[in-house]
Structure 1
């Protein structure tokens, strides 16, 4: 790894210190048990009348299996108010509640400690009283862990309690601009494109372009020959990679040896996961986004979803404000800066995140319900140097028009064939912009995202590899909206290709070092993926010229090359076209892409738009390299099956009699109304009457068999991965499915007593029993 840290480099440049890891202060996810003699927090809340005894029992059970603070559990499930929680904490620790209105924070103390550290560790040097510095903290149980460091910096210290929201508000009232400026320079200068016009690679390309212009003036056919040969060379390299990826992908699938994705397995204590969702001018998408993210099956106290919005984006702020956000979802407003890009917004929001795993979604995303559970399980089982997981992207509006169909074919080829193949070949995996999950410590070590790169995801994929980390693909799907209008598609693709060019120039500023960091094989892969892709789009017209021969028209290279060489070039082009069609058809062979194979041959008409986009992007590298060409969302957004005709509250479906449920950690979207559930033993035909009716279920296994009391003779099996139209009964079954798989967290297997009935019990469901 490079010994030159982002912080050191920034200091050498005379810039403000970027935010990075603080090695001597480590965030602690789970609070310790209270000291002997200190009254437990739950007891204080119950005595004060702020918490019910039943909620105390529920919260205690959840805390035993999660890396969550007790207070976070109470807040996430609306068991107490924030004011009541922190008032009780002040009583528990015998300290005052910080009043920032009466005594504003001392900004000199904040600067001395560091604004980024204040956010990361939930504490802030507040004020001095005599020779004592008062530290306001939202995590009083962590204070003693940091006392030595604080005393070394401030002398005598004591602490006061503050809610996290109040602490952040007081901190940002004076220091949000410095945080915004630091977000632009988190990445070290030598790994950033913020000085792109000074890079050797850009000067080299500019000189080469001038040479080509001179050659074109002197010999137009000579220029065409040079460009065609380079286009064919890059075509052979990229087609070779695609063919190898396809062979690897489909050969192992055919033999049944595809790498098994880890099942969701029990983990000792589940970690907190933070998901950042950058939004910009998203009037139409905000409400639907909240509903889609509410489907995520993960304990709410361990889920931290941050909607990241620009300060001057009043449209999105108003849309989010009009949407009722659950406790585990919040909006983070990014102050104005010199650039306005997605990576800058992510950098700013990173220090507000609470999780040890950081994820990124886009505004229009609809992730699989079990996606976070799969990510956590995968990180728990994989090697420590696996710093990033990339999910599969697909489109929910793939059949909107021809453009969306072609876009879906292209995405299926990339995410289901090419990327898995690149991973198996040990090459660098260029990341997609969404459904990304990182180990937080690795992400902070690299300085987060390059705020000036308009394809920050692909750049981060290379930087992870250069620093010794690996990216793995995980078989979980996020559906998003396909850009299906031709000019917005061109603008989006031009941004991607512009970013590819900038990323290549950044990492090729020192080719020898890139070779040493990656090795020869991965160095070759980077050249194919970035320089080769750009070359293919820009020089595609030279390759298309071979279609002239098919129609009996003269070709510019006739007479300049021997016949065998001309035929070889033409055959290479045709072979690549056959490969593209074949791989595309195989990529959309899945059930969800039914019928798309017919449209694969029309990709010949689709890719010319990419050439237009590439030319636009290359021009912008010179004129406006950091301009983010925004993609509008919500224009062709559709209601997904679980959203169609969904009532505000789910209908009551009657008790569901579950057979042999397997439980994993809880989930409870607050807007869902689960039906009461009754647990029965495996011998359901003989019956077993529970003495207690559970009002919800944490989460059932992938398949649940139950008996519906309304239809005593009917036995049904629900599969949470099956499409909703799988059930012919329609919405009634869909409602039961949602109620079952997203029920409340109150059910616990250890608190249900089963009373078997005699063996001669009738072969029918037991009657409902009332709770004791």
Structure 2
């Protein structure tokens, strides 16, 4: 590169529209595109937030290499093939990796103390020069392809990008510092478990009563919350996307995490190809793990469209979670709106149009849009039908109602769209939380942002195998518990950040939900007594009382024989001990029977009617009298 050529690049840039026409004329003169293709691209630029090159490249009218060379000639800059001419490794740390990826630049070389930056988006870099560090604002520009720049940055900053993906979230809002294997933490956990077991053993009846009351309270709390959410939704149902003032459509990046997928690639591409959003504004990233050879081999056999690309997440500390992959791929996104789909998702063809219009008309504090999730295989078996009913009520009624009530929204893991600047400001996803979606919903509320619901639907595959369902629900419960403990680490701070209403919402959504699952066996026990297990319970109580009475009598006789020489005082004292033991056991057994009978009677009165309830009471009383149990 000659010195005069370097100086020419510092001349003032032409106005944007004149530069595009001049570049288009150059493309026509070199026979790289046809006139109608240029007219089409220039017309779409008025409607889309897309440069000329993206429109031409997305339609396949020009190759990335031809566009690179044409752009370099237009800007009188050097065209660089980074695969043949890699950057000077001594310049790697001049700029942070996230800034390099954001502006698609890489420090290439230094000539006579003058820095040269290679970029695939020179027009974007010129407008962002004031945001660059002072020492590189007057750097010269060389041109390469965007893909080559990103590949080069991923190689140069592999370690830094991997570490950032695992630690992007602030430690205050993350669970990554929780290490249960540490001796101090392990001692606390095992001590708490031991104390709980001892308490249950000593105060078994009291613990049973308290757990029963808490189970009933949690059921009542969740039922009340869902009822109020339903009423709120019925009063103000989800509105259709409002028409916003006409503005250029934004570019939207969609991340699709894949892991050990061998058959989904062809179907996924076919479903995404049905999207009606302009392909020049569509940026789909297939996010793979570096060691996932199965998915990589599957994709290598598939022809990918130009608007779809692959991002490989390097292996770091051994953590391979979905939020870690999302954190890594976030820096490679090009759009101002970032969305998430799963591999088996089938979004509505016009879904992204709804997203763009809703964000254009929404308030600035609306940082996230959650779409409706549904299943395309509800008739596979009974379990898939239950899933369909659950998702229909949750996404179409409960979540919209909670949003109307001003509660924080635990997000779903897919059909999720965020403003990019907001997700970067709140720290991305917690790479160590298995329910990163619910955690992000609460964190957005803590930063003062809101989530709104969309009516657009994404269909996915329902989990219809029992073992897979158990593993999935166990993972969700673990993540819910982790999310709750993270945000309740400092309750007063949480209260001050989100206010009393949202604080109450967090307690209802997380505590009540977890309580229902943890206490489910206790609730099932009462249902078992209703369905015929009550007689066995009565026999067990009666047998316990009878054995206690018999053992007490034996102890009394033995003590009476051994201590007959001690006189009446000793006998009376032993008799009093025997009576205390017998009365105590009779009291506890009778109390347990009365508790079980009252619960069964209350359930029976609801399900079987008042007559059946009276019959159960009479039979239960007769049973107690026959077995000499105090009523």
TM-score (norm 1): 0.66
Cα gap change, 1:160 to 1:488, in 2 (>3 Å)? same
Match of 2:492 among 512, 515, 530: 512
Counterpart position of 1:429? 409
Cα gap change, 1:390 to 1:571, in 2 (>3 Å)? farther
- Aligned residue for 1:545, secondary structure, equals helix
* Contact 1:201–1:508 under 8 Å retained in 2: no
- Distance (Å, rounded) in 2 between the aligned partners of 1:290 and 1:125: 35
Match of 1:337 among 316, 328, 344: 316
* Contact 1:334–1:349 under 8 Å retained in 2: yes
Which digits, 9 at most, give the CA deviation of each residue in 1:487-520, with x for residues without a partner?
Answer: 1111111111110011011111111111111212
Q: Does 1:446 align with 2:431?
A: no
Cα gap change, 1:107 to 1:230, in 2 (>3 Å)? farther
Q: CA deviation at 1:191?
A: 0.5
Q: Does 1:229 align with 2:213?
A: yes
Counterpart position of 2:194? 210
Match of 1:314 among 293, 317, 324: 293
Counterpart position of 2:580? none
- Distance (Å, rounded) in 2 between the aligned partners of 1:537 and 1:32: 65
| Equivalent residue runs for 1:224-373 within 5 Å | 224-249=208-233, 251-252=234-235, 257-263=236-242, 267-338=246-317, 339-373=319-353
- Distance (Å, rounded) in 1 between the aligned partners of 2:49 and 2:606: 54
| Equivalent residue runs for 1:42-81 within 5 Å | 42-81=24-63
Which digits, 9 at most, give the CA deviation of each residue in 1:539-558, with x for residues without a partner?
Answer: 11111222244234347898
Q: CA deviation at 1:64?
A: 1.0
- Distance (Å, rounded) in 1 between the aligned partners of 2:125 and 2:239: 43
Counterpart position of 1:595? none
- Distance (Å, rounded) in 1 between the aligned partners of 2:250 and 2:307: 14
Match of 1:535 among 515, 520, 524: 515
- Distance (Å, rounded) in 1 between the aligned partners of 2:593 and 2:383: 40
Match of 2:176 among 172, 176, 194: 194
* Contact 2:238–2:453 under 8 Å retained in 1: no
Moved more, 377-386 or 140-149: 140-149
Match of 2:474 among 490, 494, 505: 494
* Contact 2:238–2:400 under 8 Å retained in 1: no
Q: Does 1:394 align with 2:374?
A: yes
- Distance (Å, rounded) in 1 between the aligned partners of 2:30 and 2:606: 77
Counterpart position of 1:417? 397
- Aligned residue for 1:196, secondary structure, equals coil
- Distance (Å, rounded) in 2 between the aligned partners of 1:369 and 1:35: 32
* Contact 1:287–1:319 under 8 Å retained in 2: no
- Aligned residue for 1:159, secondary structure, equals strand
Match of 1:133 among 93, 109, 115: 115
Match of 2:360 among 361, 368, 380: 380
Counterpart position of 2:443? 463
Which digits, 9 at most, give the CA deviation of each residue in 1:52-109, with x for residues without a partner?
Answer: 1111111111111111111011101111111111111001100001232454213342
- Distance (Å, rounded) in 1 between the aligned partners of 2:224 and 2:202: 34
- Distance (Å, rounded) in 2 between the aligned partners of 1:98 and 1:576: 78
Match of 2:527 among 547, 550, 553: 547
Which digits, 9 at most, give the CA deviation of each residue in 1:655-679, with x for residues without a partner?
Answer: xxxxxxxxxxxxxxxxxxxxxxxxx
Q: CA deviation at 1:262?
A: 1.5
Counterpart position of 1:95? 77
* Contact 1:246–1:421 under 8 Å retained in 2: yes
- Distance (Å, rounded) in 2 between the aligned partners of 1:455 and 1:153: 42
- Distance (Å, rounded) in 1 between the aligned partners of 2:165 and 2:605: 48
Larger radius of gyration: 2
Specify every segment of 5 or more residues in structure 1 that has no aligned partner in the other structure, as ranges. Answer: 1-30, 578-772
Counterpart position of 1:560? 591
Counterpart position of 1:724? none
Cα gap change, 1:284 to 1:99, in 2 (>3 Å)? closer
- Distance (Å, rounded) in 2 between the aligned partners of 1:203 and 1:441: 42
Which digits, 9 at most, give the CA deviation of each residue in 1:333-381, with x for residues without a partner?
Answer: 1111221000000000001100000000001000011110001111111
TM-score (norm 2): 0.81
- Distance (Å, rounded) in 2 between the aligned partners of 1:576 and 1:457: 38
**Alignment RMSD, CA only?**
2.8
- Distance (Å, rounded) in 2 between the aligned partners of 1:325 and 1:194: 36
- Distance (Å, rounded) in 2 between the aligned partners of 1:570 and 1:176: 66
* Contact 2:79–2:142 under 8 Å retained in 1: yes
Counterpart position of 1:171? 153
* Contact 2:92–2:156 under 8 Å retained in 1: no
- Aligned residue for 1:40, secondary structure, equals helix
Counterpart position of 1:708? none
Counterpart position of 1:583? none
- Distance (Å, rounded) in 1 between the aligned partners of 2:179 and 2:607: 35
Cα gap change, 1:218 to 1:575, in 2 (>3 Å)? same
Counterpart position of 2:611? none
Counterpart position of 1:696? none
Counterpart position of 2:104? 122
Moved more, 551-560 or 468-477: 551-560
The total of aligned residue pairs comes to 542
Q: CA deviation at 1:209?
A: 3.8
Q: CA deviation at 1:573?
A: 11
Which digits, 9 at most, give the CA deviation of each residue in 1:722-766, with x for residues without a partner?
Answer: xxxxxxxxxxxxxxxxxxxxxxxxxxxxxxxxxxxxxxxxxxxxx
* Contact 1:391–1:477 under 8 Å retained in 2: yes
- Aligned residue for 1:364, secondary structure, equals coil
